[in-house]
Structure 1
């Protein structure tokens, strides 16, 4: 027994140290083979309204993702979450536990800080909830500086994308980088942009600490907060894509913070709308908004509207509470947009091949249609649809003017369209002995209705009258007989077709020398009621000292209506009776008119009566009826005549067809029209007297 005790004492120290070595080896072996499970994360495509959950859950490998992960830069910040295999050769060093100093965090690359500290562009994080729960830095966190570069990706099946400094094409959030908020409760939404990528997992970190139960809400700490989102996607080729993006948000619950989407800018709109709020912590603070020292009232909620003056405008936002004050001033320059009228047209200076010419013209200003006034040779052109036009050109040079106006802007354009009528011989007259043609027909004229009367005064080179037998008038190739022919002129009634008509007049003398001219006349169809215009007509007895028996009166003209019908209506409407020869449709001649007291105030000028007595076979100015006026009253050459636009026709009323705008004067004469300038219509060669009464 004594020996046994002696042996035990001898080997006691060896056994003690062996046990220590065995325990130490067991501890090292356990630390080598152990690992820590990653936390499980909920995943939402849009966090606030979650409908999509992580298929695999947690950090376990999914069925489609290789059991291999490439660590990003941010993974190294929190080594407790690392999924790298433990190095069995060396024991894992535990970092020294230190309280996190939030101001010393080195953030990942961020956007530039705001120009106006304490201000952000209208955040969406409006919910305010009273809470004292501030996120603190956990003990044991690693505050080592961030690596400058992401480690190389050793797994070709996993693609890592860090979009901190470039446009995120994979997902977006409502976080405004570098914004300042007053409420610690910060709500985040996430939207995925690429439908071809299937979201698998989303990790969120706040100030380096992973949020295990993230469902959309983040509790900020006072001061600076760094938020990182990492989303794992499965691509169509089964490869895995990990996208990360970082943000910085400042929480300031002590100062008054003004939040607005206003900025220094230049605008072209007179009305500027914007949003603005003020808060201190979780309390709203009354905000005053001024535009050029005029206070603005909110339209609704946090919306404001300012009417800007041209040039520089100053907008000031102020808020004050418990001795604290915040103020921001913005400069907005209003440059009134110069409105330019844009004209779209195919018009240009050009040569036309046809008298019927079509074009389009439309003007706009600020996307508003501008009405146009278009004239062709000073005649207004009309369009059925407001854009397309069809007009008639005259032989030679045609001028088209386009005029429009929008507010203060004026549009004026002018185009020259040249048209050469193949039926017109524009060669100069080379034969000095050829006849001369004079007519009251004008080429390019427009007639309302289908009838137009014309006069022709053809003479030989020596001035001798050429009568109607040596005149040929054609309308669209058909011969037209003259209505009347005398020693003064030859008259014709033209029957036109709707649209363009070609009128050719040919004159020749007894030696066979000829002259030919072609004219274009456009006929416009009457309205539905048949009215083609109005004529102004009067009944006058100025040679008796009575200017008007019926003052100038406008009368409607109907399609194909003879002048005798219009005269009949005029007299009856004014209470006159009349005598005539012929009838309203043929050989109408006005013989006399009568109405009680119509000649009251009669006084024949003495100088006129002196001439009448000298040239008349019979004359007496004292014998007459005050209630009527007839041919052969006072003298043998007296009677009724009429003029159209100053010219006395050589045919009666039943052969007259008046046009819109014609002026007709029915006048009494004492001697064959010589006293009223109408003697040429009688057909003899004697001239009018040198005075018209």
Structure 2
């Protein structure tokens, strides 16, 4: 004790004791304050959902204290289609949001601690009360599905959405929301007027809360209904006076989300839709009174007709009239011809008329008869019309369609098997098909290639056998046609023949043919039928008409020579690089003279060669080239095609029909006017009726 007393009396000890007491007092003050703060409850904003909060799938918004319902994605707006892939907004995919859906909303404060019931109106910067949001739900629209798709437009950009609630007919509903499109999807009740209440809760920039409500009514029915736009165009009236003769509108039947064609009549005549994609109708009114009736039925269910009376009276500036049959169409023809005229009181001389092919920016000049002809590009071609004078406004409407633009789609018809550039050449084959069967190891065929403008391109044709040129022989070429022979693989290997043609613009077309070799040990590989006639010189009985057995590699020349010999004819071959049947004599050839030639045929030949050159030299007992006229001689066809190949270059196939015919003038009298390229006058046409 003595030591303690001395320590307390010591001045330095007193100083340290005082400091310790002060520190201890400070600590005693801090610890209770910290404990009190830790026990203080968090200040949460009022939750307008109250006890229902636990029913919602909520995700954090700005802190652990604020929540927002998750918004599922909906369907594309306005489309009556099922979408099972709807994705919710605001959280993990697949969550639904507790909804309260519609319309222009009034605003109320609901979370500032003073008015938990949200009775205070929200005012804008000018102090005026205003709506916080608006939905796109149309209360005038009757729905044929029990679902409404809509968007919500928020008017206060600096207000943060806390949550959205939807009720339908007094019942809370979950909605789906598509974050990308902003579209909500809300299920409704069938066959009644649905009252949709939308309520949106916001946090204002100052941290206080407010909310807005909107209520709209939408009818839903599973009955067949008619939807149309004429009523809107006529401002809800059933009578209208118009100064334009053309009306375009939509009319469609709907039932349970599906659309069907309505029945539309104009002045008692049924009108078909100009577009079945959206059931759009375009009608041309008669001057005076017109009656349009919209209605229809489906599966025995009928909608009530809606009638509109439309009076068309021409406007003062519509004195210019256009007449034309031109309308939207799809064609496989490269050229299209149509009629168009413009007049004032029937006088065309007072009006200027211009037709523009707008896809190529080219004005079309009229033909002599007043029609117009346009060359089409592949795909869509657009045409505009304009009629004007110095006193009237220009008229730019096509009367048949009621539109300013007529669209003609050119879908070029390609030859079977042609592949490559859409504007590439056409490839035509004779003696070969896409799939071909043969017993002959050698295959002869000819190729014709034409560019998109119809120009022959014989110089740019290539042929391959299984990707190689081995076994491919080039035989003949003229200004139109190229002949080939292919030595096929006979060991069971596939024979793929590829024909390629390239035009002057570098556009290429390819055609692929598969040839199956079906060889046999039988020396007879099939039969061909051979005919030979000279009807053009008055011999009406065939010189030859007989089947012949085919041996391996037998050509037209071998078959014809064998039969000529059999029928007692002598033949003259003057070919240098192949067989050329120059003349035959003997047999039934006797008494030949110009008098036996059909008079109408002789007149055509004389018109071309001149009377001074008719008839030329001839023989009474033989028939050959240059007899009677400069363009005469023997020609042959295989299965109706006249190939510009030597008879010795064409190997016959089983079933071939061969005709050897005499022409007086470059094949024009036997249907082969284009086989020799053209006559001296450049004409490749044939004469009618043919002999």
TM-score, normalisation: structure 2: 0.36
Greater radius of gyration (CA): 1
